[in-house]
Chain A
């Protein structure tokens, strides 16, 4: 049953207009990114010998690609949230959910199927965008991430975590309220990451601890930080120092435990959502 529902949800995700809009936006994003990368490497070449011990190609490539990863995360999150924000209350209010639930379909299976479909579409989309941006950076500037696989995986997992939060929110909130709540949560995670960056710059243990706890409570942020860290994991010396002054200053390596925690987090969120859904009248 979960396969039937997931396949239908997958087809819905791919055939809805929002997917076409996201595809067009993605092409625009990649075109602008390619222009930016070309300009950045062009300027970096002029400064190439100006800073002793700093590899301008690495700094430019990692900085540009780090910025593109934020764009990728954001677009992936937008798609994930739009596909999931109205799955329960939204669809029930529109009358779409009742004909399906009147069938011998368990509510747990419905939620599981919707997460599978959203995860496949958003995770796949995020990886595709990530790979395209990586190829653009490599082709124009000759720079590639140090750990391309784990970087992409973290980014895709971050989007899946956000989709799970949005799906759970759809059980208790209307679509509009859920959308606002999820994007505020997304913003809270990013703010926590910024706080950590400030805390480390000021050497403030309190700020750093608050940031660490918050980012693990909202693991999409911890995954994003881990993805940023994996970009230049093998980079050392002054080049690394220069990188940490830029957008990669918020990078924090998560390690394998972060993946385990993120998967467990999604499972806990879905169990809580299923428990609430079982009690909900539609």
Chain B
């Protein structure tokens, strides 16, 4: 059973169509990146999965339960792009509230473990209002993981973090995947998505314009060879062409110092997909 499945999901705000029939699947324990420019419909998609926004048509299910139902709510954890928590309460009180709402029996041990996991050990008694933006985002991550959900919906989870914090979150995502937790990661950071995600879906203007593994999305971009007469490039060559190219150069009397098989980055694939959609 898929952790998240959307079928022909549409959402219109008046005359504006935010989603135009998005079908997407996140398997159990799979880490899927959701990419797209601002206003592409990524957050709308995530909010529909959380039951915060009602789709105009189409279906969304979380662990087999229709999005927005109590069963779906019990199976997911959510960190919003605009994360805010009551400033008057402490980190521990916030997590305790979410434990009760999620029906988690983890108690104080779960709360301490989650704070430790997101790099906030010893901050349980600290009021949210005294935390930095980065600390609040970490707390948001801990909040999302309360109750050990099957699916995590993370909307820009590292937007307020420094490079060290981002690295820690990447490690955390890999750990979650190893634990069998499915993650839909909505991010603008292509390098982050490329590093950790099993699959990527690129959304532009409310539709999925490209999907696949990072390797599938990045395409062959030629072969580059360092020779005694300088660096030469074969733009349409692939990895399979490399031995032939080297053999021909050697036969022609060239000394070969290095060979590189070039691939376009996820960024190139993203720009191409988004550019085509525009």
Contact = CB atoms under 8 A, between A and B. Distances in A.
A102 B52 contact: yes
Contacts, number: 73
Interface residues of B, number: 34
A118 to B, nearest CB: 16
B101 A282 contact: no
Contact of A96 (B47, B74, B86, B102): B86
Given A12-B89, A102-B78, A281-B47, A4 B100 contact: yes
Nearest to B54: A281
Nearest to B84: A95
A103 B98 contact: yes
B234 interface: no
Given A12-B89, A95-B80, A104 B101 contact: yes
B101 A4 contact: yes
Question: Which of A16, A95, A99 has its CB near the most chain B CB atoms (within 10 A)?
Answer: A99
A52 interface: no
Given A15-B88, A98-B80, A102-B52, A1 B101 contact: yes
B47 A105 contact: no
A100 interface: yes
Question: Which of A1, A15, A98, A100 has its CB near the most chain B CB atoms (within 10 A)?
Answer: A98
Interface string B211-246: 000000000000000000000000000000000000
B73 A103 contact: yes
A95 B83 contact: yes
A148 B232 CA distance: 98
A8 interface: yes
B52 A281 contact: yes
Contacts of A279: 54
Interface residues of A, number: 23
B110 to A, nearest CB: 15
Interface string A1-32: 10011001001100110000000000000000
A106 B100 CA distance: 14
A117 to B, nearest CB: 13
B70 interface: yes
Interface string A260-282: 00000000000000000001011
Interface in B59-115: 69-74, 76-80, 82-86, 88-89, 93, 97-98, 100-103
Given A104-B70, A105-B73, A96 B85 contact: yes
Interface string A86-109: 000000001110111111111000
19 contacts: A4-B97, A5-B101, A11-B89, A95-B82, A96-B84, A98-B50, A99-B143, A101-B50, A102-B50, A102-B51, A102-B73, A102-B76, A102-B153, A103-B98, A104-B71, A104-B74, A104-B102, A105-B101, A281-B54
Interface of B: 47, 50-54, 69-74, 76-80, 82-86, 88-89, 93, 97-98, 100-103, 140, 143, 153
Given A12-B89, A95-B84, A101-B52, 12 more contacts: A4-B100, A12-B86, A15-B88, A98-B80, A102-B73, A103-B101, A104-B74, A104-B101, A105-B73, A281-B52, A281-B54, A282-B53
**6 tightest Cβ-Cβ pairs between the two chains A and B:** A104-B73, A95-B84, A95-B82, A104-B70, A103-B101, A102-B78
